[in-house]
Structure 1
Amino acid sequence: MSSTGQRLPVPSDTPVEVVDIDLAEPGRFSPPGSHERIRPQSRVFALVRLRGRPLGMVGGKGAAPAELWQTLADAARRELEVPLARSSPRTPSAGPVSGGGAGNAPDISVVIATHNRCELLRRCLDSLLRMEYPGSAFEVIVVDNAPADDAAEQLVREAYSPRVRYVREPVAGLARARNRGLTAARGGIVAFTDDDTLVDSRWLSALAEAFSGNQAIGCVTGLIAPAELQTEAQAVLERHNGFGKGYDTRTWSLDDPPEDPLFPFTAGQF
Structure 2
Amino acid sequence: MLYPIKVVDIELSRPLTTLDGLDGYMAVQGLLRFHGAPIGYVKAPITNGHCTAQTLSKRILEDHSETIINRLLYNGLSLPLGRESLCLEDLFDVPPPEYKGKLPLVTVAVCTRDRTANLALCLDAIKQLDYPYLDIVVVDNAPTNDSTKKLVETYANIRYICEPRPGLDWARNRAVLEAKGDIIAYTDDDVVVDSAWVKALALVFIKHPDVMAVTGLVVPYELETETQVLFEMYGGFGRGMSRKWYQVNRGNKIHWRLLGTGQFGTGANMAYRRSVFDDIGFFDPALDVGTVTNGGGDLEMFFRVLKEGHTLVYEP
Deviation at 1:171, TM superposition (A): 1.1
- What are the residue-to-residue correspondences of 1:61-80 with 2, within 5 Å? 61-63=45-47, 68-80=52-64
One of 11, 34, 38 as aligned partner of 1:22:
11
For residues 116 and 253 of structure 1, what CA distance do their matches in structure 2 show? 37
1:234 matched to 2:223? The reply is: no
Counterpart of 1:138 in structure 2 is: 134
Query: Does the aligned pair in 1 maintain the 2:141–2:164 contact within 8 Å?
Result: yes
For residues 130 and 145 of structure 1, what CA distance do their matches in structure 2 show? 25
Q: What stretches of structure 2 of length at least 5 have no aligned partner?
A: 73-88, 267-301, 303-316
Deviation at 1:66, TM superposition (A): 8.5
Query: Does the aligned pair in 2 maintain the 1:48–1:56 contact within 8 Å?
Result: yes
Identity over the aligned pairs, expressed in percent? Answer: 34
For residues 102-136 of structure 1, give each alpha carbon's deviation from its aligned partner in whole angstroms, at most 9, with x where no partner exists.
Answer: xx2211000000111101000001111112212xx
Alpha-carbon spacing, 1:152–1:62, altered in 2? closer, same or farther (3 Å): same
TM-score (normalizing by structure 1):
0.79
Deviation at 1:268, TM superposition (A): 2.4
For residues 215 and 58 of structure 2, what CA distance do their matches in structure 1 show? 30
Q: What stretches of structure 1 of length at least 5 have no aligned partner?
A: 1-11, 30-37, 99-103
Counterpart of 1:41 in structure 2 is: 22
For residues 114-173 of structure 1, give each alpha carbon's deviation from its aligned partner in whole angstroms, at most 9, with x where no partner exists.
Answer: 111101000001111112212xx012100011111100100111x203x11100011111
One of 107, 120, 124 as aligned partner of 2:118:
120
For residues 64 and 53 of structure 1, what CA distance do their matches in structure 2 show? 31
Alpha-carbon spacing, 1:105–1:80, altered in 2? closer, same or farther (3 Å): same
Alpha-carbon spacing, 1:91–1:189, altered in 2? closer, same or farther (3 Å): farther
The residue type equivalent to 2:45 in the other structure is K
Counterpart of 1:4 in structure 2 is: none
The residue type equivalent to 1:268 in the other structure is G
For residues 196 and 152 of structure 2, what CA distance do their matches in structure 1 show? 23
For residues 27 and 111 of structure 1, what CA distance do their matches in structure 2 show? 36
How many residues matched? 242
For residues 148 and 210 of structure 2, what CA distance do their matches in structure 1 show? 37
For residues 67 and 172 of structure 1, what CA distance do their matches in structure 2 show? 47
The structure showing larger relative contact order (alpha-carbon pairs under 8 Å, at least 6 residues apart) is 1
- What are the residue-to-residue correspondences of 1:205-216 with 2, within 5 Å? 205-216=199-210
The residue type equivalent to 2:99 in the other structure is P
The residue type equivalent to 2:205 in the other structure is F
Structure whose alpha-carbon radius of gyration is higher: 2
Q: Which moved more, 1:215-224 or 1:40-49?
A: 40-49
For residues 260 and 155 of structure 2, what CA distance do their matches in structure 1 show? 39
RMSD: 2.9
